[in-house]
Amino acid sequence: MKSMTQVPGIPSKFKYDWTGPFIVIETLSPTTCRVARVGENPETQSQIVHYNRLKPAAHNDGIVSSRPPGIPCVAEEVEVHTEGLRTALSREGAV
C-alpha cells in the first residue's frame, strides 16, 4: 500500500513509498476496498483504501499464506474504468 506519511527529518527520496503486504478483505465499491496487513486480525486492524494506493505484492517465498485462517478466498473480479482518471504524458527526456 502506498504510504502517505511524512517522516520529519527524512528527505522524501530516502523514505519507503510502499508498505505491506496486505490482503483485500472486502471490495466496497469499484474504487475502494477494505485491506488488512498479513498476520493481523482483519476485524480490528483493517483499513479502507482507494485502489490507487494498492499494487500487487512481489512474491516472497518467506510468506507462507497471504490469507489469515477463517477468511474465504474472494472469487470476484472488479473492472476499473479509466474514464476520469489522470494520465501521465511522457515527453522526450521527461516523464
Q: How many domains does the chain have?
A: 1
Amino acid type, 23: I
Q: Is residue 30 part of a domain?
A: yes
Q: Is residue 36 part of a domain?
A: yes
pLDDT tens digits in sequence order for the chain, 95 residues long: 666 667 778 777 777 677 778 888 889 998 999 998 888 887 788 889 898 888 887 665 555 555 556 666 666 677 777 776 666 655 555 54
Q: Is residue 94 part of a domain?
A: no
Domain that holds residue 22: 18-53
The answer to whether the CB of 80 falls within 8 A of the CB of 51 is yes
Q: Is residue 24 part of a domain?
A: yes
Q: Is residue 70 part of a domain?
A: no
Say how many residues make up the chain: 95
What's the predicted TM-score (pTM) here?
Answer: 0.49
Q: Is residue 26 part of a domain?
A: yes
Q: Is residue 40 part of a domain?
A: yes
